[in-house]
Amino acid sequence: MIGAAGNNQQFEFMPHLCYKLAAMNHEEKYEYIDENKSVIRINDDTHPLYIVKGEKTFLIDSGITAKAKEYAAAITECLRDGNIDTLLLTHSHYDHVGACSYLQDIYKFNVLGSRDTAGLLDNPDIIEMIDFQNRELKELFTDQPDIKCEMPKTLDKVKEGEKISVSAGRFFEVVASPGHSYCSLSYLLLPDKILFPGDSAGMMEKNGRKRPIFFSGFKDYENTLLGLAGLEPEVLAFAHAHYVKGKDRVREYFKDSLAEARKLKDRTQSALMRSGDMMGIVNDLVSGEYIPNSVLGNRDAYIMHFMTMVKVIKREFIRANYQ
């Protein structure tokens, strides 16, 4: 993954490169996640996409280049003669923007994202890195087309509090959601109360385990979880694996997710206070957390994820103690 680091648009390598990927679910390529059959989930075990239909039609994130052709086939099938008007990007990480340019060439949509996301995707060096990271994933597939991730042809900026019209009386509210990355946004569809958080609300494993993923800041991540929970969504449409439906179930998810994040923070902080052996701490965490065939990835992916989060805890809570 790649994420913005403040207004100077520096970037950092982020740990999502080691997914054990499954093929697109061809038995059921897409499903409706709302009663009005206007919100469609393009089914995929690791990188699902979402379509919201109205007077304008929106796509939420674009997934990876290795699945770009499969996404396009599913989008065309479920929309019939329709088209995508706008792509909403939750953040700039490679597994959310990889197929953007390919799909934009087909559907001619505009792209909206945060200021930091726009700045990053206007940088040729960042695009080259995103393309490299997507090529790493393509090696896990057979007979995949050689699709290159390129700079979006258009990308407009949106910010906290803006409303994006879908149809009369129906709109997305833009919610700043830092913590997973500096550039993250969530989109709350109203009055449907369906929240599209990207990775800002963490992940949920196939077995229901909640996974915190605070790659840019723990305090921001914690505040984002509290803020998103306060919106009281009734559907939580994750960018990976599951979605959660039902107000009580969504509320329970946020409660558990926040508890898991604080638990990991406390455990990591205690370990750092006892030892400066970062790799040893990461290995201890991974040994207790690793699940084979996880949405989070294989063991190498776990190591990269946890190393990033250990560094965040050290920066925010250990170094601060000595200042």
Return the CATH number at 186: 3.60.15.10
Whether 294 and 209 have beta carbons less than 8 Å apart is answered as no
180 DSSP 8-state letter: S
Domain that holds residue 300: 2-322
Rounded Cα gap, residues 10 and 119, in angstroms: 10
Rounded Cα gap, residues 240 and 233, in angstroms: 18
pTM higher than the cut 0.75 = yes
In the numeric block, which tokens belong to residue 20? 């054990």
Taking only the tens of pLDDT, the chain with its 323 residues reads 333 333 333 444 444 444 333 344 444 788 999 999 999 999 988 899 999 999 999 999 999 998 999 999 999 998 987 899 999 999 999 999 999 999 999 999 999 999 999 999 999 999 999 999 888 877 665 555 678 999 999 999 999 999 999 999 999 999 999 999 999 999 999 999 999 999 999 998 878 889 999 999 999 999 999 999 999 999 999 999 889 999 999 999 999 999 999 999 999 999 999 999 999 999 999 999 988 878 787 888 899 999 999 999 999 999 655 44
Whether 3 and 215 have beta carbons less than 8 Å apart is answered as yes
In the numeric block, which tokens belong to residue 92? 């700039």
Residue showing tokens 């940088």: 123
Q: In a 10 Å sphere around its CB, with 0-12 CB exposed, 13-18 middle and 19+ buried, how is residue 176 labelled?
A: middle
Domains contained in the chain, number:
1
Residue showing tokens 């499954």: 22
Element spanning 87, H or E: strand 86-88
Which tens digit of pLDDT belongs to each residue from 50-98? Answer: 999 999 999 999 999 989 999 999 999 989 878 999 999 999 999 999 9
